[in-house]
Amino acid sequence: MIAAPVVSVQVMPDDPDSGQYKRDFITWAMSQAQALRAMRGVTLNREERSTDLLRAIDWDHLAAEIEGLAHRQRQDLAHGLGVVVEHLVRLEFSPAWEPRADWIATLRAERDRAAAILRQSPSLRPEVAAMMQTGNDEAVSVAADWLERQGATAEAMEARMRRFGTGYHPDQVLGAWIPIPSAG
C-alpha cells in the first residue's frame, strides 16, 4: 500500500455552526478543497466498506468543484462591481434624464449583492480595489459606447478619459454615493 503524502491542512471544528463556513465562505471553501485533496488515498479505518466508500469519491474533482464555488463568488463580485462602475459612468456623464431611475435601481441592486457577498466572504474585501482596477476599463468602455450610441459624443469622450484618471474609489462604488451629472 502506498502511503498518502503528508499535507498540512487547517483543521476545522466538528461543529459547523461555529466554523469558518459562516464567518468567511471563501476561506472555508479553499480550506475544504485543500483537506479533500489531502484525504485522497487516506482511509479513515480498516473496515472494507468505509474504504470502498472513500475510494468511490472523486477527491480531485470534488476539491476542484468546492474551489470553483469560491472562484464563482469572486467572479460574481467582480462582475457586480463592473456593473456598478458602468452605471456610475452613465449617471455622471449622460445628459439623458429618463433612464436615471432605472440606472439607480440597478446600482442599488448590484451594491446590495456586492455587500451580501462581502458579508459572506469578508476575505474578499481587500481584493475590491484590484477587481475595480481590472474591470474599470471594460465598464467605462461599455458605458461610453452606450453614450455614443445615444449621440452624447462629448460625454463619451469625457467618460473614456476616466480610464486615465483614478476612476471611482471603492467607497463610492460600494457606498450610497450617486454622481451628479456633469452633462447638460
pLDDT one-digit tens code per residue, 64-93: 888 898 899 999 999 999 999 999 999 998
Q: What is the DSSP letter of 41?
A: T
For 90-133, write each residue's pLDDT tens digit: 999 888 899 999 999 999 999 999 999 999 999 999 999 999 88
Q: For the chain, what is the mean pLDDT? A: 81
Extents of the domains making up the chain? 18-66, 71-174
Joined together, the cell numbers standing for residue 150 give 445615444
pLDDT at 1: 43
HSE-up (13 A, CA, CB side) for residue 168: 31
**Could you give the residue ranges of the DSSP H alpha helices within 20-151?**
20-23, 25-39, 48-56, 59-93, 100-120, 128-149
- The C-alpha R_g of the chain, in whole angstroms, comes to 23
3-state DSSP percent of the chain in helix, strand and coil, to 5: 70, 0, 30
